[in-house]
Structure 1
Amino acid sequence: MSPAACTSSSLEPVQGVSNNANSRGDHTEVIEIDYDPKVISYYDLLKLFWNNHEYGLTTVIKRQYMSLILYHEEEQKRIAELEIEVEAGKRNEKLRTEIAPAGPFYPAEDYHQKYRLQRHSWIMEELDISLEQLQTSTVAARLNGYLAGVGTRQHLEQDMKLLGIPEKIASFVKIQYKENEGGNLYC
């Protein structure tokens, strides 16, 4: 999947009783993804989830890190339920992934947002991206993905031009992309 398929993403706790990201035990860390269904389907997003998420799939762990799929409409719920059955069959074990309706999202602390990009703060400074903008910035979402080695080289080249990324940054991102391509840490 290309970061171009997602316009923004943020790491957020959900199902908490308050918007206090420091609460203990009553929230689950999730990512919220805004996507264009003309570019990528919900089914394809679930494939990405299954191919890159193992923590807590088959082991009971604390709620903060549990495996959870949230849905916004009944069709998404139906697809997720079917896909859990398919994945359980492939793995030949019971999956612990829960499916629940999406509720309010409370942003996690800034230091959790776009981890890969934040490791290169000089890029944020040069592009004038603030910590607060990390949650909703398309530029931040795409750069973060490419820094993690996600997407295709073709999309990377297109996005660097389309987003007006200065050559110094584009060159650095391309090097990081090549070093991390094929990895599975997307945050």
Structure 2
Amino acid sequence: MSLSRIALIGGLYGVEFTRIGYTGGIEPHPCYLHIGDHTEVVEVNYNKRIISLSDILRVFFENHDYTMPLPKRYASSIFFTESSQYDEAASFMRTRLSYPAVTRLSPLVTYHDAEHMFHKYYLQNTPTVMLQLLYEYNWDWKTWFSEFNILPFVTKLKLSSRLMRRMNAALSGLFPPEYVLRILDSINIPDSIKRECKLRASHIHPQCILM
């Protein structure tokens, strides 16, 4: 599952919405254990006035081995919804990459959402932050621990996807501390939660080459 990729792209300024799922196959109900002929993907919605598709493609290609053939489940792939996206991605691959890419370009036909435990994975797996969120917003912590499911938490509190996405990015360990500070300063959460996120970031060596 592309858990680091969704956190990495979700932390970019101008990206407004991300979710993780499966596409590219004909299996009617894919899941992690029975994915069939689908590919694991990250859906990205972005504000073209702030970030370009080329910017997103640069981060995408810089942070995985696009030269390595893999089984379809994990294959380097881009699914486009407009012909202009295909043109831009194809041009990027021809002119901006140092090595020939095995990345597949395909039209998006159907998308299947991944299981809830994979959404905002790093946030869900940081109990100290989750407990503070549950306390701050008076949510039923027993429900979260029993179901390990952040989605009703987001819906019930009407917390924006932007907030959860950026917190997930801040906790991923993928970004340098100074970038994490910028992420946290851009969202409205209690200072105690920001301090916990900053403390975690200060003890992690960044794994991406974004900066």
TM-score of the two chains, using structure 2 as the length reference: 0.73
CA RMSD of aligned residues (A): 2.8
State the match for 1:120 in structure 2.
126
TM-superposition CA deviations, 1:61-102 (whole Å, max 9, x none): 2111000011121111111111112355x13xx321000112
Map of 2:75 onto structure 1: 66
**1:150 maps to 2:175:** yes
Within 5 A, what are the aligned runs for 1:48-87?
48-54=59-65, 57-87=66-96
- Unmatched tracts of structure 2, length 5 or more: 1-8, 135-143
The structure-2 alpha-carbon separation of the partners of 1:157 and 1:27, relative to structure 1 and needing over 3 Å to count, comes to: closer
- Matched residue pairs, number? 178
Q: Which residue of 2 aligns with 1:174?
A: 198
Match of 1:20 among 12, 17, 30: 30
Asked which structure has the greater RCO (Cα within 8 Å, sep 6+), the reply is 1
Is 44-53 or 110-119 further displaced after alignment?
Answer: 110-119
Match of 1:137 in 2: 161
Partner of 1:184: 208
| Aligned mates of 2:109, 2:170 — CA distance in 1 | 29
| Residue of structure 2 equivalent to 1:109 | 115
Stretch of structure 1 that moved more, 129-138 or 31-40: 129-138
- Give TM-score, length-normalised by structure 1: 0.81
SS at 2:105 equivalent: strand
- CA drift at 1:30: 0.6
Q: Percent identity?
A: 23
- The one-letter amino acid of 2:75's match is M
The verdict on how the C-alpha distance between 1:172 and 1:154 changes in structure 2, with shifts beyond 3 A counting, is: closer
Question: What residue number does 1:41 align with?
Answer: 52
